[in-house]
Amino acid sequence: MTTTLVGEVAAHGLPGQEAPLREEALSGSAWRSLVRTVDRQRLAGFLHAAIEAKRLPVTDDQQREADDLHLRWCAGALRLDRLLLHLAAALEDEGIEVVVLKGTAVAHLAYPDPALRSYGDVDLLFRSEQFDEALEVLYGQGYVRPAAPAGRDFDRRFGKGATLKGADGHELDVHRNLVFGTFGYAIELGELFASATTFHLGGRSLQALGPETRLLHACYHAALGDPDPRYSSIRDIAQMVATGTHDADRLLVLAERWQARAVLARGFWLCREHLGVELRGPLPRALDGYVPTRREQRAIDSYVGSNRHFAAKVVASLPYLDSNRDRAAFIWATAVPPSRFTRSRGSDPGVAWIRRGFRSLFRGHQR
């Protein structure tokens, strides 16, 4: 029951979502289960708003608990916004261009009130040619990179980015691409900067992805990021499709060029499955009944299928690389990575790692 209710809470505020979610306040155990899930799924803002809109009856104690939960997430978001402003200033001082991704940007640009969208980290996108420099600036701000890179050249040519850790243990995700491997190699990275838009935070102008690339990124993240994506990530897709300022034709052209139609289709499917909402408009219509090609399905499976090891992503990525030269460099960098790199990803260094890659290739072709 809670799973269904969580989906309904996550869909609160979307067009057509006005009916009461329940007639009576939940029992103690059902409420506790809901609150735990809401917290984990970063839905405190939607729960709070659904209660405020009288769609979900609550007892006085439950109201206080929902208020406190929301306040805690709001305080966390403010701390992250402050951190973002500080880092943006430090990067700008060094002439490094930065685009704010995911929760922070989406909360401020896609929702009528940023308090609806809870987020727990900061995600920044850099130009490939400035990626190393950006890391140096962030190291100067006290960050460290716990997982060793596969190599500088790998970072710049093939990597998605890195997770850094601050002195107090908080994480900062730095990106040079929106997704690692496969679909990521079809993305025109320059377009992410060329079509960027601005939003204002704390008296400062910051860059975020434009409406079309932001919606595409939400789909990449929800469709490929995790087999069981967060409801908040799925809600972002529904929110942007329903209320976004994107140009559907332009977005479909980008999706075609970036070979991402299957990713969009999966993103829309997740909205139906998890939020119980049927998305409307030209975008969902254009992808209604979309059947992924074998190559697309293999690529998607390498992220969210049962065989989603790093090596499977490597194998599935090869058709997405432009030239044999790129494929050779990619295979070289990933087939014999430094042992520090494979250990940081929980793999066995050396031969065992290569064997795993071949096994994944074999499984891929059996399907």
CB 134 within 8 A of CB 83: no
Nearest distance from C-beta of residue 116 to another protein, angstroms: 10
Total residues at the site for another protein (CB under 8 A)?
20
Q: What does the DSSP assignment read for 306-354?
A: S---HHHHHHHHGGGSSSHHHHHHHHHHHHS--HHHHHHTT---THHHH
- Comparison of 1 and 71: residue with beta carbon closer to another protein: 71
* 228: enclosing H helix or E strand: none
Instruction: Supply the minimum distance, in Å, between the C-beta of residue 345 and another protein.
Output: 35
Within 164-193, the residues that bind another protein by CB under 8 A are: none
Q: Return d(Cα 363, Cα 84) in angstroms, integer.
A: 43
* 109 lies in the site for another protein, by CB under 8 A: no
Distances 279 to 7, 46, 103, 243, 269 between C-alpha atoms, Å: 15, 19, 21, 11, 9
Query: CB of 115: closest distance to another protein in angstroms?
Result: 4
3-state secondary structure of 205: strand
Q: Per CB under 8 A, does 202 bind another protein? A: yes
Contact flag: residue 203 with another protein (CB under 8 A): yes
Q: What residues numbered 62-91 form the site for another protein, per CB under 8 A?
A: 67, 70-71, 74-75, 77-79, 81-82
Task: Find residue 205's DSSP bridge partners.
Answer: 200
Mask: binding to another protein, 113-152, rule CB under 8 A, as x and -?
A: xxx-------------------------------------
CA distance 196 to 194: 6
Please state, in angstroms and as integers, the Cα–Cα distance from residue 108 to each residue in 2, 14, 63, 64, 96, following that order: 29, 17, 26, 26, 22
Q: Please report whether residue 50 would count as binding another protein according to CB under 8 A.
A: no
Residue identified by tokens 């929902």 is 66
Question: Which parts of 335-354 interact with another protein (CB under 8 A)?
Answer: none
Please tell me whether residue 313 binds another protein under the rule CB under 8 A.
no
Residue 52 in the binding site for another protein (CB under 8 A): yes
Residue 119 CB, shortest distance to another protein, in Å, is: 12
Among 12, 48, 221, 274, indicate the residue that binds another protein (CB under 8 A): 48
Residue 304 has which token pair? 């969210």
Nearest CB to another protein, comparing residues 80 and 312: 80
Closest among 268, 284, 158 to 223, alpha carbons compared: 268
67 versus 97: smaller Cβ distance to another protein: 67
Q: Where do contacts with another protein occur on this chain (CB under 8 A)?
A: 48, 52, 67, 70-71, 74-75, 77-79, 81-82, 113-115, 200-204
